[in-house]
Structure 1
């Protein structure tokens, strides 16, 4: 499997409205400068750069491009000020019950440990070399399927952590980068404002080391988990991309024969 094939597969097995986004950190300035993607010519919040990439845009960013102080802190492009580190800043805005709770949030967030020379943010399919993290923002259903794909090889997902703040920069990017494990987010009010995500969208962040196995896991679990209506869409999207459809099996699911009483009838 390569990057292009993996994107073709995931976009076939999941009905995605947005492109998977690849994030690459550069710690060598020459390498960053030589990466053939235009640098953003003005400021942008990091989460909005991800949103733009999910719609097909590619860009490089430095600290001068950062339009959000919290995103810049997560990316080690701005130092964490004492009021934020101590918990006083968020406590003063009544986000948490007390300073201790607020401080615990700052303590548990995992930011970059080394300042990068720059970052590339672009559709995963555009990469010729491996990025560091893949971000997918989509429906809860599609994120569920990716969790199931992860579980196919890795079992129970016990590490998920989110608190409704710094959702794209920390939950989906620096946390997976540091832990080499997946994470999900329900997003946060800030990114929903500046990046204009849909109300029913959530996200999953995946270290690239796990990307191919998750794609394979989504493919392998399609027959047990997807219903026939979804399988029809999968089959059509595979055909459109010239991919093999022989593995799709209709009229079979993991829970066949498990339920009694039938589906609930709802009178509208």
Structure 2
């Protein structure tokens, strides 16, 4: 499997409205200068750059491009101010019940440890060399399927952490990068404002080292977990891309024969 093939597979096996996004940290100025992606010509919030990449745009960013102080802190492009670190900043805005709770949020967030010269944010399919993190924003069904794909090889997902704050920058980027593990996010009010996500969208962040096995796991769990309606759509998307359709089996699911009594009928 390579990057292009992995994107073809995931876009066939899942009905995604957005492109998977790759994020790459460049830690030397020479590497940043030589990376052949145009630098953003003005400020942008990091989460908005991910949203733009999910619709096909490619860009690289420096600290001068950062339009959100919290995103810049997560990406080690701005120091964490003392009111944020000690909990008093968020407590003063009534986000948390007390300073201790507020401080615990700051303590438990995992930000970049080394300041990068810059960051590349673009559709995963555009990468030749591997990015550091893959972000997929979609509906809860598609995120569920990717969790199932991860579980196929890794078992129970034990380390998911989210709090509805710093969703794209920390939950989906720096947390997976630091832990080398997947994470999900329900997003947050800030990113929903500046990046204009749909109300029912959420995200999953995957370190690239796990990306191929998640894709393979989604593929392998299709027959037990997907119903015929979805399987027929998957078959169509596979055919359109010239990919193998022989492994899709209709009329087969993990819970066949498990239920009794039939569906509950709702009176209108």
* RMSD of equivalent CA atoms: 0.3
Match of 1:92 in 2: 92
Match of 1:39 in 2: 39
Correspondence 1:253-264 to 2 at 5 A: 253-264=253-264
* TM-score, with length taken from structure 2: 1.00
Match of 2:196 in 1: 196
Match of 1:218 in 2: 218
How far apart in 2 are the matches of 1:219 and 1:266? 34
Deviations 1:215-239 (A, max 9, x none): 0000000000000000000000000
How far apart in 1 are the matches of 2:267 and 2:128? 53
Deviations 1:5-53 (A, max 9, x none): 0000000000000000000000011111100000000000000000000
Deviation above 2 Å: which 4+ runs of structure 1? none
Question: What secondary structure, in the 3-state scheme, does the structure 2 residue paired with 1:259 have?
Answer: coil
How far apart in 1 are the matches of 2:55 and 2:264? 38
Match of 2:121 in 1: 121
How far apart in 1 are the matches of 2:264 and 2:109? 42
Question: What secondary structure, in the 3-state scheme, does the structure 2 residue paired with 1:102 have?
Answer: helix
How far apart in 2 are the matches of 1:135 and 1:38? 20
Question: What secondary structure, in the 3-state scheme, does the structure 1 residue paired with 2:184 have?
Answer: strand
How far apart in 1 are the matches of 2:225 and 2:210? 21
How far apart in 1 are the matches of 2:264 and 2:43? 51
Match of 2:154 in 1: 154
Question: What secondary structure, in the 3-state scheme, does the structure 2 residue paired with 1:137 have?
Answer: strand
The Cα of 1:264 is off from its aligned counterpart by 1.3
Match of 2:57 in 1: 57
Aligned residue pair count: 268
Question: What secondary structure, in the 3-state scheme, does the structure 1 residue paired with 2:204 have?
Answer: strand
Match of 1:173 in 2: 173
Question: What secondary structure, in the 3-state scheme, does the structure 1 residue paired with 2:206 have?
Answer: strand
How far apart in 2 are the matches of 1:148 and 1:38? 36
Question: What secondary structure, in the 3-state scheme, does the structure 2 residue paired with 1:258 have?
Answer: coil
How far apart in 1 are the matches of 2:159 and 2:196? 28
Deviations 1:119-159 (A, max 9, x none): 00000000000000000000000000000000000000000
The Cα of 1:176 is off from its aligned counterpart by 0.0
Match of 1:182 in 2: 182
Question: What secondary structure, in the 3-state scheme, does the structure 2 residue paired with 1:184 have?
Answer: strand
How far apart in 1 are the matches of 2:3 and 2:265? 44
Q: Determine if the alignment matches structure 1 residue 20 to structure 2 residue 33.
A: no
The Cα of 1:267 is off from its aligned counterpart by 2.3
The Cα of 1:253 is off from its aligned counterpart by 0.2
Match of 2:82 in 1: 82
How far apart in 1 are the matches of 2:183 and 2:24? 17
Question: What secondary structure, in the 3-state scheme, does the structure 2 residue paired with 1:12 have?
Answer: helix
How far apart in 2 are the matches of 1:237 and 1:25? 32
